[in-house]
Homo-oligomer: A and B are copies of this chain.
Amino acid sequence: MLGKVLKTIKSSSDICRLSMAELTELADDLRGHIKSSVSEHGGHLASNLGIVELTLALHYVFNFSRDRIVFDVGHQCYVHKMLSGRAAQFDKLRQKGGISGFPSPSESEYDQFFVGHAGTAAATAVGLALGAQLQGSQEKVVSIIGDASIVNGLSFEGLNNTNLVNRQLLFILNDNEMAIAKTQGAFAEYLTKMRVSRTHDMLNRRARMLIKRLPQIQKKLDQLKSALTGNHWFDQLNVPVYGPIDGHNLPVLIEVLTALKNFDHPVILHVYTDKGRGFTPATDDPTTFHSPRPFKIEGESASFDESSGKSFTSSFADALSAAMARDPKVYAITAAMPDGTGLNEVQAKFPDRVFDVGIAESAAVDIAAGMAKTGLKPVVAIYSTFLQRAFDQVFQEVSLQNLPVIFCMDRAGMVGGDGAVHHGFTDISIFRTLPNMVIMAPSDDSEMVKALDYAFSCGKPCCLRYPRASVATEEAIECNGPTSYEANQSRQLRVGDRATILAFGSMAYDALAAAGILEDSAIDVSVYDCRFAKPLDGELLGRVLAKGGTGPVVTVEDHSLPGGFGSAVLEFAQDNGLDVSRVHRLGFPDRYIGQDTRSGQLAEAGIDAASIAAKIKELLK
């Protein structure tokens, strides 16, 4: 339900006609709409509640049908979307065919980049401004960077290259003192030190006083700069810094942005905002309400339904905690995602053995490599899509050294509502190119324990991948006798003679379901849980793909087809003179798949149980 003023906003241009009273009411409407949309569909809450006034002021001052705005990480774009003609579409937030939870150029010309990874807003904005500069076009460029993103190396590289730009470019440091988790590192401490001596009230008083007292806007700003900033880190990057100012005071924001808009060189505006502003549960616990699943609002409190079963995330946390209890050499590292990776649960038990390095995936890998070199057993827990950022470090500091660092990649495969910016679809292919690497995918709760134990014992760099999904907690029955968990070794979950399914990781359960469907048509198929993508189970492949054998052998992976698990099977089969013609691969097609439920995405990719069964029927025809 749109509020009274929000209802009147058909496009961004409607905003500058509003009075300050109406703008304030609009801010309330926006907060209400964010709360109701996210409580219904899940999504990013606290960060969007915090950025209401700032986004409103930006839309009031700039014209984003022509000017360009980029949001770092992107999940703080809800207000921007609502103000650029998309408020009504939030009834399908993060659903198939509905509004994306991230900026999306395919939705609107108001969005510049699809973006869900951090640290990109400085460099892309430099590129946008440089492009305008070289072509002499006049659009303004605004880049909004959070205090968590600004510690990412890419942010630093982007800001360091701001000297390429000699025209307008406005960076806004949206400083809410925490992002997904508490911001980490020395720079965060520096921002905190700045903050403690300056309350919002004091900032407002000083800023307004200065603005009122001085006649010329440029001079006002110079005063604002020198009075409030003192010696700022960014000054040494040669980009003048203004602020900090209160990011919830609309008149101040509008006045300062109006002035900064016309500067003919890059500037940074440092803004303080409160994450979760206007919704007590979110301000009290911004981590839980960073990206909550659907919840119920009752007045000023919020409640979640019981979650549906154990997640792979919790399975990993349990397995790692057990390993830590046994082995004092085990440590864990996360890059700003203690909650998403389950390391918060581990940290509760082992507070001194979990390190959060902030949004710094590359450093996380290199710090782990250093620790491994001293004899420790570090586990790096980073989502599959984010570990892409550290591919070169996994190559040089880990694989090339053959150091026993263990990478635990949550969100491997389709991720549901977060969509294309978050799918874990490249990890098998990219890490498989690296010598020494072991690539595993535990298929259920007990396999997680075994896979992690194997990783600790094998003395090599290992990847474990598992999806954003519930984990099967009842042990699957292994056929042909129980197998141990040894290098390369698969386990058979079902015996059949018409076809063979080689499923990687959690796909084993979808394969079992497919086998159930096929049984109804009197088609018996074998199902293998292939634990390893590298090295492969050569004994098994030699058996099922022996020349003279019959029946299709179908690989299934929650991953893209080019270079993935199925491709590895093809390579092995052909290199070893097996009957490669019987191999058929199922996995993601070579295109981006947008937001949907995870099960909808698996169906779209043709790797849900029904699609697997249908494919096998087709092959048996």
Q: Which of A's residues lie within 8 Å of B, judged by CB?
A: 105, 112-117, 119-120, 122-132, 134-135, 137, 151-164, 184-187, 189-190, 231, 233, 236-239, 331, 355, 357-358, 360, 362-363, 365-376, 378, 386, 388-389, 391-393, 395-397, 400-401, 420-421, 425-426, 429-430, 432-435, 534, 560-564, 567-568, 570-571, 574-575, 579-581, 583-585, 590-592
Query: Which residues of chain B are near A378, meaning CB under 8 Å?
Result: 127
Q: What residue of chain B has the Cβ atom nearest to residue A232's Cβ? A: B236
Q: What residue of chain B has the Cβ atom nearest to residue A386's Cβ? A: B392
Is A187 in contact with B158, judged by CB distance below 8 angstroms? no
Query: Which residues of chain B are near A430, meaning CB under 8 Å?
Result: 391, 426, 429-430, 433
Candidates B233, B360, B563; contact of A161 at CB < 8 Å: B360
Query: Which residues of chain B are near A368, meaning CB under 8 Å?
Result: 127
Is A113 in contact with B360, judged by CB distance below 8 angstroms? no
Pairs across A and B, CB under 8 Å, 13 listed: A119-B153, A123-B363, A128-B373, A130-B370, A153-B153, A160-B187, A164-B355, A190-B237, A388-B391, A562-B571, A567-B567, A574-B583, A580-B580
Q: What residue of chain B has the Cβ atom nearest to residue A584's Cβ? A: B574
Interface centre among A154, A391, A432 (most CB of B within 10 A): A154
- Cα-based distance from A591 to B400 in the complex (angstroms): 9
Determine how close the nearest CB of chain B comes to the CB of A69; give it in whole angstroms.
12
Query: Which residues of chain B are near A562, meaning CB under 8 Å?
Result: 432-433, 534, 563, 568, 571
Query: Which residues of chain B are near A376, meaning CB under 8 Å?
Result: 131, 134-135
Question: A153-B157, A163-B185 provided; 8 other pairs, C-beta below 8 A?
Answer: A119-B362, A127-B372, A131-B371, A131-B375, A153-B362, A154-B363, A429-B563, A433-B563
Q: What residue of chain B has the Cβ atom nearest to residue A589's Cβ? A: B435
- Cα-based distance from A374 to B368 in the complex (angstroms): 40
Interface SS of A by simple majority? helix
Is A570 in contact with B568, judged by CB distance below 8 angstroms? no
Candidates B131, B156, B331; contact of A134 at CB < 8 Å: B331
- Cα-based distance from A570 to B590 in the complex (angstroms): 16
Q: What residue of chain B has the Cβ atom nearest to residue A421's Cβ? A: B396
Q: What residue of chain B has the Cβ atom nearest to residue A133's Cβ? A: B374
Is B127 in contact with A158, judged by CB distance below 8 angstroms? no
Candidates B358, B534, B585; contact of A160 at CB < 8 Å: B358
Is B239 in contact with A127, judged by CB distance below 8 angstroms? no
Q: Given the known A-B contacts A186-B159, A360-B161, A574-B585, are A114 and B429 also in contact in the complex, defined by CB atoms under 8 Å? A: no
- Cα-based distance from A397 to B560 in the complex (angstroms): 19
Is B127 in contact with A366, judged by CB distance below 8 angstroms? yes
Is A367 in contact with B238, judged by CB distance below 8 angstroms? no
Is A184 in contact with B161, judged by CB distance below 8 angstroms? yes
Q: Given the known A-B contacts A357-B161, A426-B433, A560-B433, are A393 and B580 also in contact in the complex, defined by CB atoms under 8 Å? A: no
Query: Which residues of chain B are near A375, meaning CB under 8 Å?
Result: 131, 135
Is A374 in contact with B131, judged by CB distance below 8 angstroms? yes
- Cα-based distance from A190 to B400 in the complex (angstroms): 35
Query: Which residues of chain B are near A434, meaning CB under 8 Å?
Result: 426
Determine how close the nearest CB of chain B comes to the CB of A389; give it in whole angstroms.
4
Q: What residue of chain B has the Cβ atom nearest to residue A561's Cβ? A: B571
Is A366 in contact with B435, judged by CB distance below 8 angstroms? no
Candidates B120, B331, B395; contact of A396 at CB < 8 Å: B120
Determine how close the nearest CB of chain B comes to the CB of A110; give it in whole angstroms.
13
Determine how close the nearest CB of chain B comes to the CB of A241; give it in whole angstroms.
13
Q: What residue of chain B has the Cβ atom nearest to residue A128's Cβ? A: B370
